Amino acid sequence: MNKNIVLCGVGGQGTVLASKLIAAAAMKKDIPVMSAETIGMAQRGGSVFSHIRMGEGLYSPMIAKGTADIIIGFEPGEAVRQLPYLKPGGQVIVSRRAIMPVTATLSGTPYSGDEMTAYLEEHIPHLLAVDTARACQEIGSPKVLNILLLGAAIHSGALGLTEEDLKEAIRERLPERFHELNFRALSYVRSQV
């Protein structure tokens, strides 16, 4: 079972860790995995992405347009930006919380995350939009954004991984003091979707 996954967001949101957790979960199941991500200047608040590919017969870590099984958008505008990578009938997971670019704040150019989410709702049949702002508040930490989105991706079924797979990756990759918080985020998102 081959999977192409695109994670996208704004530099600093935690996409890199999320892609490492997916890869670790796949490794645990002996699935070959490749990934590629933005490293460099764009990480300073620019648009960032990770491509993750799982399965046999892969040569390149990069995903071709129109072939992603799932896009996990950490920010609604960034999810829309990466849509050309989605395959027909593909799944999109998106955080509803917009991040205002400095240029938009400065120039007064309107940028509305709700408009992006509405566009996704209109055009993407398989969409899970997560109210991450509320979720983070209720869980009591803004750091669980990536786990909330990964949890939602798991429950959509499009990731091909289980919650237990992800938990194991968390146990393996993160310091113990963060385990409980992240597991709480996972059960929160399970109760919501």
Partner 1 sequence: MHREFLMGNEAIAMGAVAAGVNLVSGYPGTPSSEVLETVSKHRPESTYVEWSVNEKSALEVAAGAAYTGARSLVTMKQVGLNVASDPLMSLAYIGVKGGMVVLVADDPGPISSQTEQDTRHYAAFSKLPCFDPTSAQEAYEMIQEAFVYSERYSTPVFFRPTTRVCHGYASITVKDPSEYTEHHPEGFQKDSSKWVIFPRLSYQNHKLIEERNVRLAEDFSAYGRNHIFYETDGIFKQRGIASGGISFTYVMETLTQTGPLRLLKVATPHPFPEKLALEFLTGLDEVLCIEELDPVIERELTYLCGKYHLPTKIYGKLTHHVPNAGENTQDSVRQNILDFLKDSPEDVLPASASTYGGHAFPDNPPALPVRPPVLCAGCPHRASFYAVKAAMKGRKTIFCGDIGCYTLGNAMPLDMVDTCLCMGAGLGIAQGVGHIEPDTACFAFVGDSTFFASAIPGVVNAVYNQADMTLIILDNSTTAMTGHQPHPGTGRTMMGDIVEQINIEAVLRGIGLKTVETIDPLNHEAAVACVKQTAGKPGVKAIIFRSPCIAVTRPSGSMHVASGKCINCRKCIRELGCPALTIENGTISIDASLCTGCGLCSQLCPADAIHVDTDVEHISHDTEASKGGNGHE
Give least dist CB 166 to partner 1, A. 15
Does position 55 interact with partner 1 (CB under 8 A)? The reply is no
Q: Does position 29 bind partner 1 by CB under 8 A?
A: no
Q: How many angstroms separate the CA atoms of 83 and 46, rounded?
A: 18
At 89, which helix (H) or strand (E)? strand 86-95
Supply the minimum distance, in Å, between the C-beta of residue 14 and partner 1. 6
As given in the structure block, the two tokens for residue 148 are 């909330």
d(CA 13, CA 143): 9
Other CB atoms within 10 Å distance of the CB of residue 17:
16
Number of residues counted as binding partner 1 (CB under 8 A): 65
Instruction: By CB under 8 A, name the one of 12, 55, 163, 192 that touches partner 1.
Output: 12
Q: Which stretch binds partner 1 (CB under 8 A): 136-144, 147-155, 156-164, 177-185?
A: 136-144
Using alpha carbons, select from 131, 142, 118, 122 the residue that is nearest to residue 191.
Answer: 131
CA angle 72–39–183, rounded 5-degree value: 45
Residue span binding partner 1 (CB under 8 A) among the ranges 43-51, 150-158, 159-167, 180-188: 43-51
Cβ 149 to partner 1 shortest distance, Å: 15
CB 90 within 8 A of CB 71: yes
Residues that bind partner 1 (CB under 8 A): 10-17, 23-24, 26-27, 32-47, 57-67, 77, 80-81, 83-84, 86-90, 100-106, 111, 115-116, 119, 123-124, 141-143
